[in-house]
Amino acid sequence: MGKGSKKEKRGLGEGKNDNDVGSSEEILLSQRKYALERILETGLNDSKPQWTPMEQNLKLINSEYEQKLYIKFEDVPLEGRSIYQRLVGKLLYLTITRPDTSYVVQSLSQFMHAPKRSHYEASLHVVKYIKSQPGHVNGMRNKAYCNSDWASCLLSRRSISGFCIKFGTSLISWTDKKQNTISRSSEAEYKCMTQTELSWLK
């Protein structure tokens, strides 16, 4: 995996009523070298890239399911399952910077114990998809959103503050609570921003 670097970014909040108070430091992650090694390893360096991680309407099932429902497919168990297991394991590592492949790779990992030819072909399809953008860069940064519901408590007329903090696409912290004092509409928004717990994340 390539070394992370820091990039300065500035911008407005993404939501109309939300306040973006995130950090301006962004960590860029890339696994280009690792992705190119997987393409070369599977012998797909001369193949056409795919533009979707999985074929449309593809149904992946195991042999036990076929036997229970008496379904017959022109599919055979894969000889040498270790090839499939190693490939899927390496694809799982690539999901760090390629979250768009997470669903299909997690689905393929269910067939590690008894893979079939169709499962292996689906894993090669993922490699061809990665080939379309082997140098994909995934930006990771702390980003916080906050908002307040002004005077929403009918008994105390105090506002409710809420915020959530994300690292990349992952939600890592969130809360909502009543403000300590009664505030005007604009003051409630500012208090909400000051209560967002970004200091301990830096």
Confirm if 64 and 145 have CB atoms less than 8 A apart.
no
Q: Which of 122, 163, 121 is nearest to 146 (CA)?
A: 163
71 and 150 together in one domain: no
43 and 130 together in one domain: yes
- Residue located via tokens 């979250």: 99
3-26: pLDDT as tens digits: 444 443 332 233 333 444 444 566
Q: Burial code of 80-109, b = ≥16 C-beta within 10 A, e = fewer?
A: ebeebbebbebbeebbebbeebeebbeebe
**61 in any annotated domain:** yes
How far from chain centre, in Å, is Cα 62? 26
Per-residue pLDDT band at 159 (split at 50, 70, 90): confident
Which two tokens mark 19? 């306040």
**1 in any annotated domain:** no
18 and 74 together in one domain: no
Burial of 72 per CB tally in 10 Å (0-12, 13-18, 19+): exposed
147 and 129 together in one domain: no
48-93: pLDDT as tens digits: 999 999 998 888 887 776 666 655 666 788 888 999 999 999 999 9
94 and 170 together in one domain: no
Confirm if 33 and 135 have CB atoms less than 8 A apart.
no
Per-residue pLDDT band at 123 (split at 50, 70, 90): very high
Q: In the chain, how many domains are there?
A: 2
Domain carrying residue 181: 7-26+141-201
